[in-house]
Amino acid sequence: MTSWKNQIWKTIIDQGKIWRKAILPGALIVCLIMLLRFTGTLQGQEWMAFDHLMRLRPSVAHGSRVTIVGIDEVDLKLMGSYPLPDQILAKMIQILHQYHPRVIGLDLFTDVPVGSGRKELIRTLQDSSNLIGIEVALNPDPTFNIQPPKEVPPERIGFADLIEDRDGKLRRSLLSSRDFNQELKYSFPLKITQAYLNSEGIYLNHGSFEFKPNLPRDPNILANLKSTEPIQFGATKIPRFLENTGGYIDADANGNQVLLNFNTSPKPFPVIFVRDLLEENFSPDLIQDRVVLVGVTAARNKDIFLTAAVKRTLVSSEIQSKDSANKIIYGVEIHAHAVEQILRAVLDGRPLLKSWSEFTEYLWIILWGFLGIGLGIIISSPLGSLLCISIAGVTLFLISYLALLVGWWIPLFPTMLALSAAGLTTTFFDRSLRVELEQRRQTIERTYNAVHNGPLQHLAVILRTTEQGTAEAAQLRSQLQKLNQELRNIYESMRKEVGNPEESFYLQDDVVLYLQTPISELLYQVYDQTLERDFPGFKTILTYIPPDFSCLNNSNFNSEQKRELCAFLQEALCNVGKHAVNPTRLDVICQQIAGKYYLQIVDNGQNSTELSSVQMPKGQGTKQADNLARKLKGRFGRRQNSPRGIFCELTWPVQKSSLLALLESTFNHFRRIKRWLKNLRLKQ
């Protein structure tokens, strides 16, 4: 029991040493990826992964609460000017009011008169209590800002400023911010949402101040509001975008921002063009009790942006390829998505996008990186490791995708990079380390085998002759000199063999066999050279039948198998030379029968109890033979021959073609992986 426990403990210690060395390269890779992410180097790739997941979301058709009244190129040609004349704009608003929209969002600048009808437009804007206008207010240089229409009171004005990421794409919406005069302002989409939800009895709460209709507003309270406080409607809090939210690193998080959770419907918003509106050629349901956004859907006004997080936009559905990741999107569409996402979050419970804390995200990356390291160490086969890492990568992708569906943006690209890079690095480093350790083990084993099959064989003969008292001084001296020479030759021969381990095999003295030689010739050289050794068992043999190893040439033995077959034959012949008492016959038989190879060494030496006790225990030679039989999927046996001598036999099946062997090896790899996964599930 103690020996069994010690063996287990020794195995654990040995594996621990390997793990310590194998983990280090993968851990360094994980640390490097963490550093790259911390410095923002991977930010662009994280954005691309996020956009890709957003586009993969299933298209869900649902009733939108937002309708877009678009002014396209056809409308501009019909109206004869851009911007639209004030008279046309006033008529559009009046027609909209006839169909009772809940909120009208005017995504047009009306601060400068255009054509005739200015007074009519002013009167219409003043009478439209449910109309929200726009301004540009957040530029530090006032000359770049655009004033709102004076006819619309400030509480019905929202800024239209949008935030682009460094790659020029839109992924977030600005809800509130202080301008450069420290005045708190709210965005155009938030003002529209507020007006819509107020009619539902749901009010905007920003910090401790609650906005309700028809209540007096204290300018001092308004000025002291902090835009960093969370914005919420009723019980629905809007997750605030921070500088390191999701895949962002040190982003501009001024004001109160939120990630855009784009509508996934095939046609997110119904569109009515101005020509149809003026002719009242539309369904009243598209306006009644809805949010109506009026904006330009023509490229000439340059109110266009880039996004890669949606499948279709008004532009892409007409002129852009559906396969293109980057889509052109109009500003009015961006506002529509921003309004829709808050309305659906408050009224339908659709999740808004949020992310983990920085600590949790980095911990997530580390855990997956070390999972890759573990797979690289546990699965010894490179093919198996690659397969398992691929399965883990697909699992990670699915987790990230499903998390996004329920409103969580978790880091995908750096996590996938840590998993694959650390896993593959560990796989090949661990394999290299194990190969190195295996080469060391083989070198030690080959050196011992060379000593065992050479000098130790001679030493056994010397000891035997001295014990029997038959050795003369001159003979003993000659044998010791030969033993000395063999010991000296081992170093040089093993140095050559280790320097070129795949091509050579040390036999004896300065004889080295080259393993590219056909197996039949190699075995015959071993047979011929070994029988010339000065062993007492060879001196009395009268009958030699030259062996024929040619049947083995049909098999594709690799260099290691050739080496071990040569060592097996050498060891078996040396045992006859050392231990057989007065043998007169030695037969070496090699044949192929019924899909099996048989290699037999048979002598007729005298058997004694003492001899049997020497031959039968498992020494180094027997262990070598058993190991070879196991590698060849065969069997090794040694027994007493009748009536005298020892019968030594190695049998193994005929090797299959290389293609079949490859298929079988691949199948066995998959079986091992399946068994490992099953055991892993049972442990869990």
> What is the spatial order of strands in the sheet that 231-233 belongs to?
209-210, 204-206, 231-233, 236-238
Q: What is the pLDDT of residue 223?
A: 39
Q: Are 240 and 231 in contact (CB under 8 A)?
A: yes
- In angstroms, the CA 29 to CA 33 distance is 6
> What is the spatial order of strands in the sheet that 635-640 belongs to?
543-545, 585-593, 596-603, 646-653, 635-640
| Angstrom distances, CA of residue 584 to CA of 109, 539, 552, 577 | 116, 9, 28, 11
- Bridge pairing between strands 256-259 and 236-238: unpaired
Tokens 């790739």: give the residue.
45
Judged by DSSP in three states, 206 sits in strand
Q: What is the pLDDT of residue 225?
A: 40
Q: Average pLDDT for consecutive 10-residue bins of the chain (684 residues)?
A: 57 59 82 94 94 90 88 88 88 94 92 85 90 90 84 90 92 90 90 94 72 45 47 91 92 91 88 93 93 89 87 69 76 94 93 93 95 83 85 96 95 95 78 56 63 63 65 66 63 56 65 83 89 84 84 84 87 86 90 90 71 49 84 89 88 70 58 64 55
Residues 6+ apart with CB under 8 A from 469: none
Q: How many CB atoms neighbour CB 134 within 10 A?
A: 26
- In angstroms, the CA 70 to CA 270 distance is 10
**Residue 513 host element (H or E):** strand 511-514
- DSSP string covering 525-554, please? HHHHHHHTS--HHHHT--EEE----GGGGG
With a threshold of 0.95, does the pTM exceed it?
no
- Per-residue burial over 151-177, b = 16 or more CB atoms within 10 Å of its CB, e = otherwise: bbeeebbbbbbbbebeeebbbbbbbbb
Residues 6+ apart with CB under 8 A from 435: none
- Per-residue burial over 390-410, b = 16 or more CB atoms within 10 Å of its CB, e = otherwise: eebbeebbebbeebbeebbbb
Q: What is the pLDDT of residue 97?
A: 94
Q: What is the pLDDT of residue 598?
A: 92
Nearest alpha-carbon partner for 250 in 38, 498, 8, 20: 38
- In angstroms, the CA 460 to CA 452 distance is 10
Q: What is the pLDDT of residue 619?
A: 66
Name the percent of the chain in helix, strand, coil, to the closest 5: 50, 15, 35
- Bridge pairing between strands 209-210 and 231-233: unpaired
User: Which tokens is 143 given?
Assistant: 């000359």
- In angstroms, the CA 346 to CA 340 distance is 10
- Bridge pairing between strands 596-603 and 304-307: unpaired
Q: Are 631 and 561 in contact (CB under 8 A)?
A: yes
Residues 6+ apart with CB under 8 A from 492: 510
Q: Are 176 and 188 in contact (CB under 8 A)?
A: no
Residues 6+ apart with CB under 8 A from 305: 162, 164, 169, 170, 328, 329, 330, 331, 334
Contacts by 617-620 with C-beta closer than 8 Å and gap 24+?
620/448, 620/449, 620/452
> How many residues in total does the chain contain?
684
- In angstroms, the CA 265 to CA 312 distance is 9
- In angstroms, the CA 154 to CA 185 distance is 10
Q: What is the pLDDT of residue 610?
A: 41
Distance of CA 51 to the CA centre of its chain: 18
- Give the chain's domains with CATH numbers: 2-39+356-432 (no CATH), 50-354 (no CATH), 454-653 (3.30.565.10)
Q: Are 325 and 333 in contact (CB under 8 A)?
A: no
